[in-house]
Amino acid sequence: MSNEYDVNDNLPDFAKVGQPVPEFKLEAFDPTEGGFVELDLGELRKQGKWTILFFYPADFTFVCPTELADLAAKHQALVDLGAEVISVSTDTKFSHMAWKTSERLLENVKFKMAADPTGEVSRFFDVWDYETGLALRGTFIISPEGVLASSEINFYNVGRNVDELVRKMEANNYLKDHPAEVCPAKWTPGEKTLTPNDEMVGKVYEALNPID
């Protein structure tokens, strides 16, 4: 079986955190260039980039433009962390273009807007809603090595907070260079991390609050 998948090929099983994500391609609208492009996950890996896939239900809806506006506000911070940010829905690339042009909340969107009209990639990431044919609100972080590092799925009625996505990217980016360490709850850059060992068992409080 090939390790690369076009949009019309069958992706195997479902995406699992900690497991490799097969390479695939998606057509997209690029707001920066004002035209259509092909996104190739394999090429992003060759460039050593993190990939953030930001699935949402549909263009011309209500919560979705608020989410994409929030993502646009944090886009540069994610790019600075080495990530390629891609929004994805089951709409066509033409619908993306029309929505970006008409919805004022999207005026600052610069990330590529990918089209998954067959729902194949949405099914692979387990955000596909078989009753509606739409994608749920799923956020996925894929490492430069092609491993799924983070997965979050929300129902239609609750919008996401991209501040938490930035925090998770900061943590994952830090841990890429410090694989022996782990980041505790609410960790942000500059705060103390942990290096698990036998002496820390039952003594996490002491590890986080050392006595001078």
- pLDDT, tens digit, for every residue of 37-72? 999 999 999 999 999 999 999 999 999 999 999 999
Tally the domains of the chain.
2
What pLDDT score was predicted for residue 211?
Answer: 82
Provide the mean pLDDT of the chain. Answer: 93
Contact of 21 with 148, CB cutoff 8 Å: yes
Residues 78 and 137 in one domain: yes
Residues 100 and 183 in one domain: no
Residues 132 and 36 in one domain: yes
Residues 151 and 184 in one domain: no
Q: For residue 27, what is the domain's CATH number?
A: 3.40.30.10
What pLDDT score was predicted for residue 26?
Answer: 96
Residues 183 and 172 in one domain: no
Residue from 28, 39, 53, 64 carrying the catalytic annotation? 64
Respond yes or no: is residue 64 known to be catalytic: yes
What pLDDT score was predicted for residue 198?
Answer: 96
Could you report the per-residue pLDDT of 118-129, keeping only the tens digit for each? 999 999 999 999
Could you report the per-residue pLDDT of 202-211, keeping only the tens digit for each? 999 999 998 8
Residues 171 and 191 in one domain: no
Residues 165 and 145 in one domain: yes
Residues 183 and 96 in one domain: no
∠ CA 77-78-81, rounded to 5°? 95
pTM for this model (two decimals): 0.92
Side chain identity at residue 103, one-letter code: E
What pLDDT score was predicted for residue 73?
Answer: 98
Residues 211 and 117 in one domain: no
Could you report the per-residue pLDDT of 131-152, keeping only the tens digit for each? 999 999 999 999 999 999 999 9
Average pLDDT over residues 150-175: 97
Q: DSSP assignment of 72-117, as one string? A: HHTHHHHHHTTEEEEEEESS-HHHHHHHHHH-GGGTT--SEEEE-T
100 phi, psi to nearest 5 deg: -60, -35
Q: Which domain holds residue 192?
A: 179-212
Q: CA-CA distance, 195 to 180, in Å (whole number)?
A: 6
